[in-house]
Amino acid sequence: MGKVLTLIVQRLGLGLITLIAVSLIIFLGVELLPGDIATEILGKDAQPATVEAFRKELGLDKPPVTRYIQWVGATLSGDFGNSFANGRPISDLIGFRLQNTLFLALMTAAISVPLSLIAGVLAALYRNSFYDRAINIFTLTSISFPEFFIAYILIIVFGQQLGWFPTLSNVSAEMPFSQKLYLCALPALTMTLAVFAHMMRMTRAAILNLLASPYIEMANLKGLERSRIVTKHALPNAWAPIANVVALNMAYLVVSVVVVEVVFVFPGLGQLMVDSVIVRDVPVVQACSMIFAATYILMNLTADIISIVTNPRLLHPR
């Protein structure tokens, strides 16, 4: 077990380094933009003295290194600072929206991960059958359309024609859980269609790839059922690639849902970030970027750790 722990600690360390690198890039990227929030808010004709005073108030007059350290320190303690645009604490702005985004992402994951894994295993099991072809065509079609297009189709079919689900997903904090689920049905379905194909096809490919192994031939020659061969012999060795693609898609669910959020008027983090970019509300953009980056890093770390702990050679050393 010692080796597994070392590997996991190493991965965590690497994740931390990546996070620091990302924070530097985010900070420097904003730093390199011409002008700053002071000139943006006060306009071109403002008195230099006023601009200077405003900068001082916002702390923009300090050297970049100091500001970076302050920013990181504050971020670590959960204090993202105040929005430049409206002066409210960023944690208030983000908190509710982050909850919403995570709620939607988790709901989508709860639908899409089991569904795509099962569909993928079945496709591998009944390779080249009608089911296999049908599911392949279906998933290919669904990822070939842009998400907003799928969203509108779902709105027309399930929202207007059938009237099963609401077309607006304007959730609020005090709503009961079931109400939230109901409101989020269509966006979750849209996103499920967006990530289903990757995960399902990867599961299928990872398993089919292993079906050429000598130990699969051996299992065949032991007279085992095909379903047992796929689930007992191929799947346990396919976790690493599957975990990777699932992790990437989970990160995608948190990070890249802005289009879906806009369509369904969903109060999520993506929309907040887009709004903040438009008004150059730098601290909010930085905070959102950090959250997104951390999500990606965390998801990839999880995938790495899953690959490590599902590898019998590492888990049971000689």
Which of residues 219, 250, 287, 305 is near another protein by CB under 8 A?
219
225 binds another protein (CB under 8 A): yes
**Closest approach of another protein to the CB of residue 260, in Å:** 38
> Which residues does residue 82 pair with via DSSP β-bridges, in sequence order?
89
Q: CA distances (Å), 94 to each of 2, 100, 188, 254, in order?
A: 40, 10, 21, 13
**Closest approach of another protein to the CB of residue 147, in Å:** 37
Contact 100, 267 (CB under 8 A): yes
214 binds another protein (CB under 8 A): yes
Among positive and negative, which fits the CA dihedral 204, 209, 210, 214?
A: positive
Contact 199, 113 (CB under 8 A): yes
**Locus of tokens 């939230």:** 180
Tokens describing residue 289: 């970027």
Judged by CB under 8 A, the stretch of 42-50, 91-99, 226-234, 257-265 that binds another protein is: 226-234
**Closest approach of another protein to the CB of residue 159, in Å:** 46
CB closer to another protein, 13 vs 312: 312
221 binds another protein (CB under 8 A): yes
217 binds another protein (CB under 8 A): yes
Judged by CB under 8 A, the stretch of 76-84, 97-105, 213-221, 282-290 that binds another protein is: 213-221
Count, residues near another protein per rule CB under 8 A: 22
> CA-to-CA distance for 166 and 185, rounded, in angstroms?
8
Quickly count: other Cβ atoms within 10 Å of residue 135's Cβ. Answer: 22
Which of residues 28, 228, 265, 277 is near another protein by CB under 8 A?
228
Interface residues for another protein in 230-249 (CB under 8 A)? 232-233, 236-237
Of 95, 265, 64, residue with least CA distance to 170: 265
Contact 171, 265 (CB under 8 A): no
312 binds another protein (CB under 8 A): yes
> CA-to-CA distance for 228 and 220, rounded, in angstroms?
10
Contact 301, 222 (CB under 8 A): no
CB closer to another protein, 53 vs 205: 205
Q: What is the pattern of x (binds another protein, CB under 8 A) and - over residues 42-81? A: ----------------------------------------
Give Cα 88 distance to the centre of its chain.
26
CB closer to another protein, 44 vs 313: 313
Q: Residues interacting with another protein, by CB under 8 A?
A: 212-215, 217-225, 228, 232-233, 236-237, 312-313, 316, 318
